[in-house]
Amino acid sequence: CEKIVLDYGGTVLRVTNLYGPNMSKSNIFSDIIKQLRNNNLITLKNTKVKRDFLWVEDAVEAIILSIKKRPKGIYNIASGKSISIMKLAQLFLKNSENNSRKVLSMELKVKEPFINVNIDDTIKDLGWKPKTLLETGIKKLLKID
């Protein structure tokens, strides 16, 4: 599909893992938030994998800018910073009322490689970069939930 869009002079936006209000109930953020409600361990599948997470409103801004500017090519819409699932869970705990809990990983090996998503062209051509820090987004989610 990307090739077809590019062949017609269009813009392809590759968006990383979005989080924010009304997000899916079957993602890592929702899983952690659900487990914060009890006093048990936070149990996650694999805490060693790293992912790039982006606040949904930042993605919307990038989409709007791409519509206005109409650049041709492929652009990454991401934070540009990968974080391990362990560190993500620790950020949630740090910003929750019950922050002394432990995080348990079901798997101890990293099966999936991680890639730091390069957003340099997106910043240059769209004049966009994410505004919402991950910890700020987590604080917003914890207030919503």
Q: If you average pLDDT over residues 128-138, what whole number do you get?
A: 97
* Distance, CA of 71 to CA of 82 (rounded, Å): 26
Instruction: Provide the pLDDT confidence category of residue 98 given band limits of 50, 70 and 90.
Output: confident
Q: If you average pLDDT over residues 107-120, what whole number do you get?
A: 79
54, 117 contact by CB (below 8 A): no
* pTM for the model: 0.89
| Higher-confidence position of 99 and 141 | 141
For residue 64, give the H/E element and its range: helix 56-69
In this prediction, residue 137 carries a pLDDT of 97
**DSSP β-ladder status, 73-77 and 103-107:** unpaired
The strand ranges marked E within 47-110 are 50-55, 73-77, 82-84, 103-107
Instruction: Provide the pLDDT confidence category of residue 115 given band limits of 50, 70 and 90.
Output: confident
